[in-house]
Structure 1
Amino acid sequence: MGGSGGLGFARVEVVRLPGGDGLWVVRAEGPLEGPEHAALEAATRPAAGCTAVVIDLALVPRVSAAGVRALVGCARTLEERGSRLLLATADATGGEVLATEGALTVVRSVAEAATACGGPGLAGPGPGPEIPSPRRPEQAGAPGLPGRGTLAGHTERSVCAGSTTTRSPAVSAPPEELLRLRTEVRHLRAKARTHPLISRAQGVLEERYRLPDDSAAFALLEASSQRFNVRLRTLAAAVVTIPAPRTLDGEWFPGRKRLSAPPLAFAPGLRAASANATEVLSAVLRRSMEVAETGMGNVQLVDPVTGDLRIEKHHGLDDDFLEFFDRVGKDGTSCAQASQQVTRVTVTDVATDTVFDEPSRAAILAAGSRGCHSTPLVVPSGQVEGVVSTHHERPVRALSASQARALDEVGSQTGRWLEWYHRTVVLDALEDLHFAGSTWR
């Protein structure tokens, strides 16, 4: 393991094992020359519920003698705290050198570490044991989980808004009529969730600019939304959450500096400065699914009004999943934990992981997902703008170093772009709305 000097860099994530325990995975980058490497500091601060720490050395070109001593010190510190340290490296020679130190345990990969710490067959190398394929929404319910249909004379258990209720047997109806009714109800619920925010923004604008009625306020919102290609809900949220202009005659944001759009290297076909949020989030999801090698996933953004995560883009997930997880709070799911801990959370097996509350687990399993990776979209200040999650039909393995690095890059680039978008494009739309509203006076 050879390379150049430097303090090094570290990326962290949580790999949750079947049953609820987890690994605190530190992906080290750059030569490890001593205790000042960022990975060693990160390794001593594991997230709650992690029973072991893994330092992945796949992207470390060199570990010096001082670096080895620092690793031994880190291992002893963790041991005193009741935890253990594992070092993951595929470098056979380097691994043998590290293994000569009695305090260090060496494995070939993070996946192998997950197997050693209680995830047999799920995260280790090789195909693992045969696991029945998850049932898709159109199939009968799996044992202990709600099915999509009911048998005559039986009651149906359904999960809705985080609670479980019992309903009477469903009345038979033509499949196309059921589909139409479900679609209509879903649209009505979506409208009911969005309408209060739009109405609140209308009220703010009506009072601020002394507009004749709420129709005039809606016209202002709609015009600026279309002119700057900003979603109406996004613009309404900005009206509600951003402090009012100091005067009605001047600029809303005087002296504001317009910044250049940060690059989106993971989506070379997009022009970052002119792309809209929908295009960027579609590219985020597409690239994340490609890296994680799956066809199911979703992107959520943090609602600036409530702080909840809200689904913005999705692929391969059924309507029931989308309705159930339309809004996610601060616990009960892997995406909520990723947002709260500001680190990726990998769930190796949804069926057994305690990160999910029971209604959420049932909804995810019913959609055909047995494993997931939830990566936060983070701005440089550490604020989370959203989460991208990939879902998998079988329990998943820990990500490789290259996969983890690629998803982290997607998350950080997207976070920076979203921050720029809200501070530039959305504020441009607000300035436009402010100018138009002032002319009503």
Structure 2
Amino acid sequence: MQNRKPGSETRSGNTFQDDVRPPARAEPGGEAIQKALTTAIRAAQADFGTVQQYDSAEDCLRIVASCGFPDQVLNLFQMVRRDTNSTCAAALTQRMRVVVGNIAASYLFVGTRELAALQQAGVAAAHSTPIIVDNGQLWGVLTVHFRRPWEDTQYDPTPMERVAVRFAECLKDGAPQQTFAYRDAEGSDTRTFQRR
């Protein structure tokens, strides 16, 4: 399988240009977060996604935006602790990108309830990256999920990582009004996000 241009076609065969998008949910006032998530899914050619914000009081991640997941999966991952079997928990703990091309064969998931829930929802692969603001603090984790597994050589994590960096720039300094643009690798699509 060749790497496709970001946003050209998801691994499930649906195109975002054709407005084939899974249902999206965000916390009230989370329009910018939802736009960043949608852009990340498109950039990675993924099928699902979540944005989780770090809760320092509970030392966990909490979902603040999602796209494509049924309620039972969102309920299972609504609060993710460091010992949860998931790429987002690993990204939280390691503070670095975690990419799993086949969750069924990954040590993170084998024999866990998280694996069963993700497979039931149609997830076969995942990419999580921490969102770290300019003061070095972890804001949360951005994750995209795929319906089909793939080999490491078949996936380029760079486009999704660029979205995460732009999103972190939007959040830096806690400014009430900030905008940023994301341009895909071909420079053909620009999205502007505004944080309220």
TM over 0.5: yes
1:400 CA displacement = 7.0
CA distance in 2, matches of 1:343, 1:321: 24
Alpha-carbon spacing, 1:307–1:419, altered in 2? closer, same or farther (3 Å):
farther
Quick one: which of 53, 60, 69 aligns to 1:308?
60
* Structure 2 runs not aligned, ≥5 long: 4-26, 177-196
Judging changes above 3 Å, is the alpha-carbon distance between structure 1 residues 416 and 399 closer, same or farther for their aligned structure 2 residues? farther
* TM-aligned CA distance change 1:326 to 1:282, over 3 Å: same
For 2:152 and 2:38, how far apart are their aligned partners in 1? 20
> What's 1:371 paired with?
125
Measure, in 1, the Cα distance between the counterparts of 2:38 and 2:172.
21
Q: Which residue of 1 aligns with 2:108?
A: 355
2:163 aligns with: 410
Q: Distance in 2 between matches of 1:347 and 1:327?
A: 21
CA distance in 2, matches of 1:284, 1:291: 10
Tell me the amino acid that sits aligned with residue 389 of structure 1: T
The structural deviation recorded for 1:326 is 0.4
Task: Check the 8 A contact 2:134/2:172 in 1, yes or no.
Answer: no
Whole-angstrom distance in 2 between the partners of 1:410 and 1:125: 22
Q: Sort the Cα spacing of 1:354 and 1:400 in 2 relative to 1 into closer, same or farther, 3 A.
A: closer
Note the C-alpha offset of 1:315: 1.0
Q: Is the 8 A contact 1:384 1:415 kept in 2?
A: no
Q: Please state if 1:341 is matched with 2:94.
A: yes
Give 1:299 shift.
0.9
Please state whether the residue corresponding to 1:375 is helix, strand or coil.
strand
- After the TM superposition, which parts of structure 1 deviate over 6 Å for at least 4 consecutive aligned residues? none
Identity of aligned residues (%): 28
RMSD: 2.6
**Contact conserved, 2:48 with 2:145, CA < 8 A, in 1?**
yes
**Following TM superposition, by how much is the alpha carbon of 1:361 offset from its aligned partner in structure 2, in angstroms?**
1.1
- Between Structure 1 and Structure 2, which shows a larger proportion of helix residues? 1
User: Equivalents in 2 of 1:385, 1:354: separation in Å?
Assistant: 26
Query: How many Å apart are 1:308 and its aligned residue?
Result: 0.6
Shift of 1:394: 1.1
One-letter code of the match for 1:374?
A: S
Match of 1:291, SS state, is helix
Distance (whole Å) between structure 2 residues aligned to residue 399 and residue 320 of structure 1: 32
CA contact (8 A) 1:342 1:382 kept: no
1:281 to 26, 30, 33: 33
Q: How far does residue 399 in structure 1 lie from its aligned partner after superposition?
A: 7.0
- 1:326 is the counterpart of 2:78: yes
Aligned to 1:180: none
Rounded Cα–Cα distance in structure 1 between residues aligned with 2:152 and 2:42: 16
Higher strand fraction: Structure 1 or Structure 2?
Answer: 2
Q: Which runs of 5+ in 1 are unaligned?
A: 1-123, 127-229, 232-275, 426-441
Bigger Rg over Cα? 1
Aligned to 1:5: none
Classify 1:413/1:305 alpha carbon distance in 2 versus 1 (closer, same or farther; 3 Å): same
Measured after TM superposition, the shift of residue 302 of structure 1 is 0.5
For residues 33 and 88 of structure 2, the distance between their equivalents in structure 1, rounded to whole angstroms, comes to: 16
Higher relative contact order (CA 8 A, sep 6+): 2
Measured in 1, the distance between the counterparts of 2:67 and 2:2 equals: 28
Aligned pair count reads 152
Q: TM-score, normalised by structure 2?
A: 0.68
Q: Does 1:393 align with 2:123?
A: no
- CA contact under 8 A between 2:60 and 2:82: conserved in structure 1? yes
TM-score (ref. length: structure 1)? 0.32
Taking a change above 3 Å as real, the CA distance of residues 414 and 125 of structure 1, as seen in their structure-2 partners, is closer
Q: Distance in 2 between matches of 1:383 and 1:412?
A: 13
CA contact (8 A) 2:44 2:157 kept: no
Is the 1:378–1:414 Cα contact (8 Å) retained in structure 2? no
